[in-house]
Amino acid sequence: MIERLVCLLAFLVFSSFALADDRPNFVIIMVDDMGYAGISCFGNPYFQTPEIDRLAAEGMRLTDFHSSGTVCSPTRAGLLTGRYQQRAGIEAVIHPVRSHPEHRKGLQTSEVTFAEMLQSQGYATALIGKWHQGYVHNSDDFHPQNHGFDQFIGYRSGNIDFVSHVGDHDEHDWWHGREETKEEGYVTDLINEYAIDFIEKNRDQPFCLYIPHLAIHNPVQTPGDPPRRTEDGGWNRWKPADSDERIEKYRGMTLPIDQGVGQIRQTLIELGLDRKTLVLFFSDNGAANDFPSGSPGLRGNKGSVYEGGHKVPFIAWWPGRIAAGSKSDVPAITLDVMPTLLSLAGVQSPVDRRLDGVDLSPVLLRRQTLRSRPLFWASLSNNGGRSEAMRDGPWKLVVRHPGAAKGSFENERLELYRLDQDPAEETNLADQHLDQAAQMLARLKEWYADTQRTATPQLGGWPG
């Protein structure tokens, strides 16, 4: 009898390890400030991105995918938590200037990230690249290793010089965990190198690797360029001599990302992990003004609640599970990443909070549609200007506040568009469809009020 119990226990232990080994790995690649047409498989007319295109050819493109924010910090908070970033109290860029109203904010330890949930179930986790969820000199609670990441190599500010590694707060900002590390190298190359190293070292266990790239965010620097920002000399901003130089810099900053995607893909294949690894590729917001990475058919850029501010490219790759060359126009958002990862890993969502995102695996794996749902945006600029938007089927409501006090919702100006007929948001239909605009405005306000009822308290902020 005892021998049978011992054998049964050994079988259960072995089975649990076998089950763990069958769980998928995840590689989440998020580029910075790349608009909808930043890569050639989404319409880049200036140059080819062959490795990213290969990922798309072997996987699925989502052609109606959106960031939850129109700038970096908010999108990252929403991505990490699977909830609208307003619930975490992060509505704007966490600003480098210490006197700025948004400077002292950060991701509080009361939030629950996808990394924490996967880590708790035995996943090895790493963040290699950009954090921008709070300056650690304000609180150590903001450090990424307090949010589920076993390993952190990268920078904590909003951007750093690609060569000197001096951040937007004029301090050196390159770290291995909690240790400031002076090492030479072009940032994109370093991120690629450490990403491959993490995959190789964790090949024998399930892992989740989050790669938030610095590129193609400024400073504008390509491999071989000199530093543009130093701790003593400040930031010498790049100014293009002509349009040809602008495109050459754009190309020079994008292709190292493309090469890194190819290296990751090849490493997964060589290690025999390609058929058990989901790779996602997308951007944190629409195109910045440095480069023409946005689609000419979309209105607005980074910081805008028009489509060009948040509609971004998305690719999912998982050989044997995702049909090669497939495409879906199902509307989706960065908030959907967390519930998708948890579902595929067999991990229950947090029991004490409802996720705003939904599981995309029926779309990715079975090419199904999703139940229709509204999507919301609320943008807060560095200067305290607000704008909001709501998407409901083909309808898009845009709310602007011209001349309003900083941080306030005064002076509402409504715009209403039919995206199926007017994807460029050129014809405002608000006056012709008053009831539709009023109904959507009421739902938008209720959504925002709901996010604020239990929003995580933060220091600072605009007076509103």
Catalytic choice (41, 66, 72, 217): 72
User: Using an 8 Å Cβ cutoff, are 424 and 297 in contact?
Assistant: yes
Q: Are 290 and 220 within 8 A, CB to CB? A: yes
DSSP 49-101: -HHHHHHHHTSEEESSEE-SSSSHHHHHHHHHHSS-GGGGT--S---SSTTST
Helix or strand or coil: residue 128?
A: strand
Exposure pattern of 166-198 as b/e (b: 16+ CB <10 Å)? bbbbbbbbbbeeeeeeeeeebbbebbbebbbeb
Which residue among the candidates 66, 132, 169, 217 is catalytic per the annotation? Answer: 132
- 165 classed as catalytic: no
Backbone angles phi, psi at 403, to 5 degrees: 75, 10
Please say if 103 is a catalytic residue.
Answer: no
Could you tell me if 406 and 429 are in contact, meaning their C-beta atoms sit under 8 angstroms apart?
Answer: no
| CA dist., res. 60 & res. 49, Å (int) | 16
In the structure encoding, which two tokens stand for residue 193, read together?
A: 């190198």
Active site residues: 72, 132
